[in-house]
Amino acid sequence: MLSSRLSLSLSLSSDVSLPQNARERQDVSKVSREELEDRFLRLHEETLLLKQKTHAQDDKIRKLGTKLMRLLKDRGRMERLAGGQAGGQLEVRLRCVCVTWSWRRQQLLTSHSRRSPYGRVQSRVNTGVKKDDAPSLTHLKSPRSPEGGRPPTGLLPRFGHSLLEETRAEVRNLENMMELQRSHMEEMELEKEELREELRRREEELRRREEEYKEKLLQNTSRLRAQVSSNIAVIKLQKQLQERSSSVSELEGRFIQLQESQRTLRLSHDAALLKVDELSTQLKDERKTSLELESKKQSAAISRQGLQQLQERVGELEQERDLLKDSNEKLVNSALDVSWQQRFQLQEQKMKMQISQLETALQADLVDKNQILDKIKMERESSEKLTEENRKLQIQFLEQKQRLEETNDGLKFYSRENKYDVAELTEALLLIKKRKSSGELGFLQEKEQEEQEEVQELRAAHAETIQELQKTRSLLSMESSICRDYKVELQAVLQKMEADGGGFAQQLQRQAALLDTRAARIKKLEAQLRDVAYGSKAAPVSPLDGPDEEEDDEELLQRGENLLELQLLGASLSSSALQQALGDQDSSTFSSFCTYSFHLSELHCTPLASGSMPRYGFTSRFVVSVDEGFLQYLRHGAVKVELHQALGVDWRTLAGAKIPLQGLLEAEGALQGSAPLLGRSEGTPSFGSLEYRLRLRVPMKETLRLHRDQLHRDQLHRDQLSADQLSADQLSAGPQVQEKCQDIEIEIQ
């Protein structure tokens, strides 16, 4: 089998022996994409076939190897069996020899017990037989008796010496046979070892041959692959040459047709040029007439503006006339009413007097204020002095008290030691009274009066200091109340700042969440665009209708915002339009996708869908602020959707549709419908229909009501701001009026 395969591969290599480097390779840039794809697919199929063939050859080689190994094992087993049979035969022969030897020995032993003709004669040779001491009864018989002396009839007399020699000869023969068998066994073992060595050599040779065979087989397979690839390239080149020749013939036919069509087009072009000249002349006439009409229109507009200006001037003149009439009437009334002027003069004089009085009172108040401040300073100084004197007096009082206590202690001590009598003490008191009555103790009374006056002055100063302290306490309480008010205002401001900070933090979180959703949406769109670019089908994005997602979106919504959901369900395409757009291609392989943009958002793209009834199931969400621009867009705008055909990396726009948005202003729930798809080419005006679904998270009536409330609140806020601004202007104008009044007063003085 192997030799037949080698011969077959050699024959194939000899048959297909074209030099591969001799062929010129075609430039890849000149070959079209479809041809390259066809070549690639053919090469892929051929490589698959070659792989299958190589796998089959490898399987056959494995089978042959297993068969060879089995044969080698069977051969060794047979050799072992043959060696075992020879050894068994030798063992059988040896057993037979042993049996015969034992039989001969037994026979020899039995022969010693027989009677010999010369039993009485002792043997000269030691035969190993035991001699009988007592003569047997048989020896007493006569030699002539038939029982004792004669051997039996038919048997020759055998003697022990001859039998022993025979047995010895047989034993020698058997030993020789054993030696021969042993030598034969040794020769067999040597042959067995030689056969094993030869078997090993054969196995090594077989392995080496097998490896050489595998190498040759690999070389042959690589050579065959190269030859097959070269043959395939030759076949492809031949096919390409045939296709090119057929395409050249087709191009020649087309060229002839194009020449004929060019002639007809030249004739039609000349006729069209004539028509264009006629139409250009008509267009010039129409432009002239339109320019004349526009000039008339402009003159009419100018005249209207002039009339409006004249009417405005007439209205202004009428207003001036009315004002002049009113002023004239007032002048007449003022001229007739002289007493009014006198009253005005009297009022002016009174006001001047009041102003002068107020100035004098103000000056007097200032003087009094200065005097009071000086008195307060003096009182403060005196109170400080009095406090110091009071402190000194308290110190003196404490010292006197200590001295008095010391004198009392001394008196008690002396009274205990000396033991004064009561009579003596009474006499001393009487003497003191007499001296007081006579005036001898007047210096003591003067000191007491001085001390009482000082005490009264100290009491008055103390009362004044208490009053000053009460005043300072009231001032401090006022300051503490003011500080409390400031603290309350500060806390309110801090709370407002915290609330504003929390609002800003929430707004930042919302913006971050919106940015995250936008980034996720951008990633999804990038993945979809990547799938579209590489021609792979993407799974449809499931619509976000879960309650958790709705709650998240509602939390992200701010005041005055709404969430609009636009879902493209699918499309139904007409078969005629598909045939005209695709040509000979199968409609089942047709893959499409849609792109659209809503209001001010970016471009959105649906996933790929195949067939004449593609189902996209793609949902987009837009957070919109409900204002006048958005409402105007809902009233007059529409979402433009374009249908594209995916062509690998490229695409082609086939049709477009417009989804109206006016129904959202009236519908309370979801709005579902279909929009016609209009083809881009003139041959396919109607391409099919597009199914869509629109829904606002907050209904439009509620949104409009909230929008009106917001407008009303904004208007009130503007009015409040204008009123605050007016009051601020008036307050700022107040000091200016006062300054003017002061200037007037100064001028009068």
Q: What is the pLDDT of residues 537-581, one digit of tens each?
A: 333 333 444 444 444 444 456 767 788 899 999 999 888 888 887
Tell whether 560 is covered by a domain. yes
- 551 plus 614 within the same structural domain: yes
Which of 5-19, 177-191, 588-602 tops mean pLDDT? 588-602
- 308 plus 384 within the same structural domain: no
* Per-residue pLDDT tens over the stretch 219-269: 888 888 888 888 888 888 888 888 888 878 888 888 888 888 778 877 877
- 425 plus 322 within the same structural domain: no
Rounded mean pLDDT, 154-174:
65
Statement: residue 486 has pLDDT above 70: yes
Tell whether 362 is covered by a domain. no
Question: pLDDT class for 339, splitting at 50, 70, 90?
Answer: low
* Pairing verdict, β 671-679 and 609-610: unpaired
Q: Domain boundary residue among 190, 215, 247?
A: 247
Rounded mean pLDDT, 726-732:
53
User: What is the pLDDT at residue 568?
Assistant: 92
Tell whether 651 is covered by a domain. yes
Tell whether 672 is covered by a domain. yes
- 463 plus 584 within the same structural domain: no
Computed over its alpha carbons, how large is the radius of gyration of the chain? 72
Of residues 506, 604, 534, the one with CA closest to residue 564 = 604
User: Which residue type sits at 230?
Assistant: S
User: What is the pLDDT at residue 234?
Assistant: 83
- 613 plus 674 within the same structural domain: yes
Question: pLDDT class for 657, splitting at 50, 70, 90?
Answer: very high
**CATH number of the CATH domain containing 705:** 2.60.40.150
* Per-residue pLDDT tens over the stretch 454-468: 777 777 777 777 777
User: Which residue type sits at 632?
Assistant: Q
User: What is the pLDDT at residue 720?
Assistant: 64
- 309 plus 389 within the same structural domain: no
The total of structural domains in the chain comes to 4
* Per-residue pLDDT tens over the stretch 284-308: 777 777 777 777 777 777 777 777 7
Tokens of residue 632, six digits: 């105007």
User: What is the pLDDT at residue 337?
Assistant: 52
Mean pLDDT score of the chain, rounded to an integer? 71
Q: Domain boundary residue among 326, 357, 390?
A: 326
- 551 plus 689 within the same structural domain: yes
* DSSP H or E stretch at residue 516: helix 442-534
* Per-residue pLDDT tens over the stretch 49-94: 888 888 888 888 888 878 778 887 877 777 677 655 655 666 676 6
Break the chain down into helix, strand, coil percent, rounded to 5: 75, 10, 15
Q: Domain boundary residue among 434, 469, 493?
A: 493
* Per-residue pLDDT tens over the stretch 603-649: 889 998 888 889 998 999 888 887 888 888 888 889 999 999 888 77
Statement: residue 203 has pLDDT above 90: no
Rounded mean pLDDT, 448-457:
73
User: What is the pLDDT at residue 640?
Assistant: 92
3-class DSSP assignment, residue 130: coil
Range of the domain at 63: 1-14+35-112+161-247
- 700 plus 590 within the same structural domain: yes
3-class DSSP assignment, residue 607: coil
Statement: residue 43 has pLDDT above 70: yes
User: What is the pLDDT at residue 532?
Assistant: 57
* Per-residue pLDDT tens over the stretch 515-537: 888 788 888 877 776 665 544 33
Tell whether 635 is covered by a domain. yes
Tokens of residue 242, six digits: 């045939």
Would you give the distance in Å from CA 584 to the centre of its chain?
Answer: 44
- 561 plus 621 within the same structural domain: yes
Rounded mean pLDDT, 332-337:
56
Question: pLDDT class for 161, splitting at 50, 70, 90?
Answer: low
User: What does 294-336 look like in DSSP terms, one character per residue?
Assistant: HHHHHHHHHHHHHHHHHHHHHHHHHHHHHHHHHHHHHHHHHHH
- 406 plus 481 within the same structural domain: yes
Rounded to an integer, what distance in angstroms lies between the CA atom of residue 518 and that of residue 666?
A: 30
- 457 plus 321 within the same structural domain: no
- 187 plus 40 within the same structural domain: yes
